[in-house]
Structures are given as structure tokens and as C-alpha cells.
Amino acid sequence: MEEIKNQEMEIFEIISHGGNARGLAFEALTEAEQFNFEKAEELIKQASDELNLAHKTQTKLIQAELNGAPSEKTLLMIHAQDHLMTAISEQKLIDHMIRIIKKLAPKD
């Protein structure tokens, strides 16, 4: 029972860090739209840090399963995986959009 509780907490970590990353990435895009590129880059870095934390937890769960620790496939786990993959994809897309906005920004 304790093992399941620990796994649920790790799943919630993935969801939490993924959500934080998405929010920070969208904040970065908003800053870039206002040509605040320094702030946008700072926020994208924070988003990347959050994704790294989520990915570390995901890797830990995968390695545990590969090493024989049973892993229950739940809707919560599927949601966490979906949440993380979406956050990674959006962060990459937003990072690219910021680079485009920089190219289109008025030159002083």
C-alpha cells in the first residue's frame, strides 16, 4: 500500500512540474509578444528546469519498472504522461515562436 502511495506522489510530481512548465512557457510567450526578450528567456529557462524535474521523476518510475518493481497502469499515470508530453511539445513550440518574434521585432 505504501508503495502505491509513493508512486501516486511521484505521478503528481510529474503533473505538477509539467503544469508549472506549461504556465511558465506561456508567460514567456506573453513577454516575447511585448518584446521583453530577457524576461521571456528567463521564463523559458525556468520552464525547462521544471520539465527536467518532471522527466527525472518519469525516468525513475520507468527504471523501477524495468528493474522488476510492479507498476500499476492507472488513468492518473496516463494523464501524467500525456500532461508531460504536451508540456514538452508546447515548450519547444513556444521557444521556436519566441525566436521568430525576435526576428520580427522592431530594431532600435
Listing DSSP states for 20-61 in one string gives HHHHHHHHHHHHHHTT-HHHHHHHHHHHHHHHHHHHHHHHHH
CA distance 84 to 102: 27
SS3 1: coil
Q: Which residues are catalytic?
A: 79
